[in-house]
Amino acid sequence: MNAEEFIQTKAPQLAFFGHSFFRGQLPLAELEHYIWQTLEEWQQYAFAGDAHTEQESIFWFLMHELHRWPEPVLRGNRYLSSKLIECCDYLSGQGYFPENCIGIRPAINIQSKGSAA
């Protein structure tokens, strides 16, 4: 699997989880669990480089923002929540490319055993 296939598989899932959270149908703990599982999976592939597509950029932006903010901010900040819902819409194929939402791939830190941290 290459990075583009990974994102094409995971983007609709993230959109589903995001929409469900903002509709009040999914607890934040379950959303966080999905985010961590996805990051662990991504790390197993050890993809390097920058995001190569608009879809991937929006995917990483949404992952970061959903993880970064506490629930009261995600639900209470109308500007933020509407921007994140726009991202969910885009990733699910139901919306336009959201402006000013630029995400980057997480850094991969690979160290051999015995190396200094």
What is the pTM assigned to this prediction?
Answer: 0.87
- In SS3 terms, 35-54 reads as HHHHHHHHHHHCCCCCCCCH
pLDDT of residue 115: 45
pLDDT of residue 50: 76
Per-residue pLDDT reduced to its tens digit, 26-46: 999 999 999 999 999 998 887
Q: Can you list the residues of the chain whose pLDDT is less than 70?
A: 108-117
Query: In degrees rounded to 5, what are phi and psi of residue 109?
Result: -110, 100
